Amino acid sequence: MAVGETRFPAMPVIEGLRLGTAMAGIKKPGRRDLVVIDIPQGARVAGSFTRNAFCAAPVTVAKANLAACQSREEGARLLVINTGNANAGTGEIGLRDARATCAELARLAGVAEDSVLPFSTGVIGEPLPMARLLGGLPSALAALGSDAEAWQQAGEGILTTDTRPKGASVTLELGERRVTINGISKGSGMIKPNMATMLAFVATDAAIEQALLDSLLRETLDRSFNCITVDGDTSTNDACVLIATGRGATVASDEEVALFRHALQQVMTELAQAIIRDGEGATKFVTLQVCEATSRQEALDVAFTVAHSPLVKTALFASDANWGRILAAVGRAPVDDFDVERVTIDLGDVRLVEKGGRAAGYTEEQGSRVMREEEITIRIALGRGEESATVWTSDLSHDYVSINADYRS
């Protein structure tokens, strides 16, 4: 059950960018599972990738190819994404297959092999069905388009256990010119990224220098995809790509950068939150706000400690106002010299904890009322400083266990 129905937006055209999908039968027949994104010459491309030590073969190849393009002061020309198979934990065979995919797509499109970036998502530890994958590339290229349907089909083509495609779009005015930012993402389980999410692809028609594009990606990731968790697991395949085609307004002045950063943050946050709303088996969308910390990292440490607590997450699923579980999770967060007398914890509009224990005015009826809601906010004030952070998470349900127990069946 996904939390809060959201519709895939009608994406405007990003001039120069095209997307194509194919049904290659990589895991199951009759579903879109192969996506190609065609990037115009002269575009700039930034990327961020998983920090999992067992990073997937396509991650290794994509990082190397992106670095090669940037060393030539060029952008990547093609992205190729397959679902149904992660090509992770596959050793040298996986690297060979990822490079072979790049080589074949480069040959078909007439571009340099190292200007192709590969991405995969799905089951870990199984070799790619290369005949089917390579056989689907011509169909994906033939389907290239730039309209709203092309964006939606690409959003569908990167899904695994997700129940719906995830997209976000913002249009803003820079002077007398309009700039568009579109993005798609996928992710439902194995979500506690160390950089981004499982997969996200964001594009704009703005003209942005490489150093600024890299900086904008890092900044907006830190307050979006780096602030979500479903289950505390970091995928082997996480990747986020930001593309600036350069066909629209130039983003250069401080005012232009600030306006663009705000719009990009909106897209990134919406895509990240969509992953939590579609978390495996999720029935609750939970916002954890931690304030009055000595540093942003301290606030994040407290928020993630609560978000990762199985006891807290199962109480949320059961709509059980067992506030002691939240208090215990806050108390075991890695915070030095914790003064519990200064900590307050609120559940929605209800004060749970103050002065080291249950708030004087709290009643079980109040807590249960909030816990029955589909969207819940937990606010934790540490009474230590002025820094804050927000993290988004979901509950832990019977369906989460079933989905992951049956994932390979």
Any binding-site annotation on 280?
yes
In the chain the first and final C-alpha atoms are separated, in Å, by 20
Any binding-site annotation on 65?
no
Give the torsion sign (CA, 402, 8, 393, 335). Answer: positive
The stretches of 196-237 forming alpha helices (DSSP H) are 210-222
What is the strand order of the sheet 34-38 is part of? 18-22, 34-38, 78-85, 116-123
* Alpha carbons 23 and 343: distance in angstroms, whole number: 54
Query: How big is the chain by its Cα radius of gyration, in Å?
Result: 22
Q: Is 161 among the catalytic positions? A: no
Any binding-site annotation on 188?
no
Give the torsion sign (CA, 55, 216, 222, 370). Answer: negative
* Alpha carbons 98 and 352: distance in angstroms, whole number: 52
DSSP per-residue codes, 125-186: T----HHHHHHHHHHHHHT-B-SHHHHHHHHHHT-SS-SS-EEEEEEEEETTEEEEEEEEEE
Give the torsion sign (CA, 230, 232, 235, 238). Answer: positive
Place of tokens 């995809």: 225
Any binding-site annotation on 363?
no
Q: Which of 197, 220, 236, 245 is catalytic?
A: 197
Any binding-site annotation on 409?
yes
Any binding-site annotation on 292?
no
* Alpha carbons 330 and 233: distance in angstroms, whole number: 20
Annotated binding site: 160, 186, 197, 280, 404, 409
Annotated binding site for substrate: 160, 186, 197, 280, 404, 409
Active site residues: 197
